[in-house]
Structure 1
Amino acid sequence: MKEKYAEIITKIKEADGIVVGASNGLSISEGIHIFAENADFLENFGDFREKYGFRSIIQGCFYPFPSEEEKWAFFSRMYDYFLYTGEASSVMKNLYDLVKDKDYFVVTSNIDDHFRQTGFPEHRLFEIEGNCRNLQCTNGCHNQIYPGDNILSEMAQKQENGKVPQDLIPKCPECDGPMQVHLEVDRNFLQGEAWQASYQAYQDFIKNAHGKKMVLLELGVGARNQLIKAPLMKLTSLEENATYITLNKGRELYIPDAIADKSIGVDGNITEVLEQLVLIK
């Protein structure tokens, strides 16, 4: 395994550009599992589980809450759960340390906004499905995305009996209609100016890296998550000087034969792998 880690570090050092692709497996390595009905979920969301019957954070995101007071109780609780410490995990710090001195770009389907929390700059980040701290007009009457930290934090602190006070519920400043967290949980998800700008920055990064030594560093992207995995694999096959590096566990570690000779796969705990990579960096 040491030889494989050394090869990964060499590829990263030699790279002209690095695309970091991240999904749920990276969050799990931090201790956050949005798909699981585990002890952590029951401790933090057990009252929602008992009242509404959903069995995970992700199910809560899609749940049709009967009132705005109840909807915002859940989403503000989720915001608080993801970001209340205000400090990045050791997993994210190690990842940042691994790529911070390189030309890189991050594409992720994670909604916890831990990349930005860690210090990854916004202009190097494309959050495909939004994140838990931004708000949008539910009606989509205009394209602006709003920072929600202050109101979400206040709602998280002041909710009682599974509801937030009526006077804290945000209203759209343009149409006075309802607002929602900027997450792709329904057809209202706004792919507005900010989303389009991030998408374009991602495409520009790939275009500018064409023909150069490129590393596609994939972290915890499940075999079925084609939103991130498929484009990275395609890029590997198209780019002569690309190397596909994937960190995952067990059956989720997948490398097709077509790019096997340009790929490095590590089956293991992402937390431990990143620790080892940073140690030998």
Structure 2
Amino acid sequence: MSEYKEIADKLKEADAILIGASNGFSISEGLHIFADNQAFEDVFGDFKRAYGIRNILSGIFADWPSEEVKWAFLSRLIHHYSIGYTGSQNTEALKTLIGDKPYFFVTSNGENHFELAGFSPDCIWEIEGSWKEMQCEQGCHDTLYPLFPLIPEMAASEKNMKIPSELVPRCPKCGGTMGGHSPQRYMTAADREIQRRFQNFIQKYHGKKLVVLELGIGWRNQLIKAPLMNLVKKEPYAAYITINKGEIYIPDEIAAKSYGLDGDMTEILERLKEASEEKNDGGNANEYV
């Protein structure tokens, strides 16, 4: 039995599937927040030359000279990578792999691709925040506000790396500056609710056949990878599948119930999809509590 067939069988037998995703998954879809590459030059070359930023991540956390410049960068970023996104070959493969199983996503990626591809937002914990929302940077109140609806006008109005002052978002309570959704800045009620849903999911499938599918998470990652591996260690019937390019790490304690697939994310997911197509009818469920 090939490894891909064996993994397809594990997915078929699972009571639920927990998906962990980080930068490696985004990179496979063309979004590399750490890279000073041609894609970064094509989209942000003017910001790079004017302000010295070397990648998307440095732009997200830059000390911009004004709110007009800050939101010019952020609106261009979100407009390019999120607005209009409806899925990819990767997310279509995931839908086949998940089938009608209960699922939950835990991801450090903020571009909101899993929800935009059609997965339930009630089953997605964007642990470091999401580009789809914004919050008061002063933390004056506990509310997230939709950001995506504002982006097209910002992006269309941008000139010379600035948006018009009247389009700069302001806190409706204190009038202060707004920033992207960042649980690290402060936890909102929405953050606490999705965390509760995740804990309910874990509790519901404790002692059952839980498959942990890990997508593009570095071996030193303590935010998602370490807790997932620890969960697999504690759960007697769990299986662990990790996919990454050039970096597979599986500790000895869980090696007997683990699979490591090293290579191109899209190619691997497509091969798993092909191995699974005869085993489920596709679709997805949003049973999480």
Residue pair 2:108, 2:127 contacting (<8 A) in 1 also: yes
Q: Matches of residues 1-16 of structure 1 in structure 2 within 5 Å? A: 3-16=2-15
Identify the match of residue 250 of structure 2 among 252, 255, 262: 255
- Contact 2:171–2:177 (CA<8 Å) still a contact in 1? yes
Measure how far apart 1:211 and its partner are.
Answer: 0.4
Matches within 5 A, 1:1-80: 3-80=2-79
- Hey, what does 2:262 align to over in structure 1? 267
User: Which residue number in structure 2 is paired with residue 116 of structure 1?
Assistant: 115
The separation in 2 between residues aligned to 1:177 and 1:31, in whole angstroms, is 34
Unaligned ranges ≥5, structure 2: 277-289
Local SS of the residue matching 1:143: coil
Match of 1:220 among 201, 211, 216: 216
Does residue 237 (structure 1) correspond to residue 233 (structure 2)? The answer is yes
Report the CA distance between 1:154 and its aligned residue. 1.1
- Take 1:191 and 1:248, find their aligned partners in 2: how far apart are those partners? 30
Give 5+ residue unaligned stretches, structure 1.
none
**Greater CA drift, 42-51 or 75-84:** 75-84
Partners of 1:127 and 1:47 lie apart in 2 by: 30
Shift of 1:8: 0.8
- 1:27-84 CA-partner distances (Å, limit 9, x unpaired): 1111111110110010001111101111110111111001000110111111012113
3-state SS of 1:126 partner: strand
The code of the aligned residue for 1:97 comes to T
| C-alpha separation in 2, matches of 1:100 and 1:50 | 46
CA 1:35–1:106 in 2, change beyond 3 Å: closer, same or farther?
A: same
The structure 1 residue matched to 2:191, chosen from 192, 195, 198, is 195
Change (3 A) 1:62 1:123: same
Q: What SS is found at the alignment partner of 1:102?
A: coil
Bigger shift: 17-26 or 174-183? 174-183
Q: Between Structure 1 and Structure 2, which shows a larger proportion of helix residues?
A: 1
Matched residues in 2 for 1:57 and 1:92: separation? Answer: 23
Supply the distance in 2 between the matched residues of 1:272 and 1:207 (Cα, whole angstroms). Answer: 33
Is the deviation greater in 217-226 or in 90-99? Answer: 90-99
Question: What is the RMSD of the two structures over their aligned residues, measured on CA atoms?
Answer: 1.2
Please report how far the alpha carbon of residue 177 of structure 1 lies from its aligned counterpart in structure 2 after TM superposition: 1.3
* Structure 1 residue 254 displacement after superposition: 0.5
TM-superposed CA distance for 1:96, in Å, is 2.2
Does the 8 Å contact 2:208/2:237 carry over to 1?
yes
Residues matched between the structures, number: 276
Distance in 1 between residues matched to 2:159 and 2:172, nearest whole Å: 26
Name the amino acid aligned to 1:126. W
Matching residue of 2:132:
133
SS of the residue aligned with 2:207? coil
4+ residue segments displaced more than 2 Å:
84-87
Maintained 8 Å contact 2:85/2:117: no
Structure 1 length normalisation: TM-score?
A: 0.95
Contact 1:182–1:190, Cα closer than 8 Å, also in 2: no
Query: Could you state the TM-score of these two structures normalised by the residue count of structure 2?
Result: 0.93
Deviations 1:111-158 (A, max 9, x none): 110000001101111000111121111111111101111212211111
Task: Report the CA distance between 1:176 and its aligned residue.
Answer: 1.4
Task: Give the Cα–Cα distance (whole angstroms) in 2 for the partners of residues 81 and 190 of structure 1.
Answer: 27
Q: Which has the higher contact order (CA 8 A, sep 6+)?
A: 2
Partner residue in 1 for 2:205 = 209
> Counterparts of 2:2 and 2:237 in 1: how far apart (Å)?
21
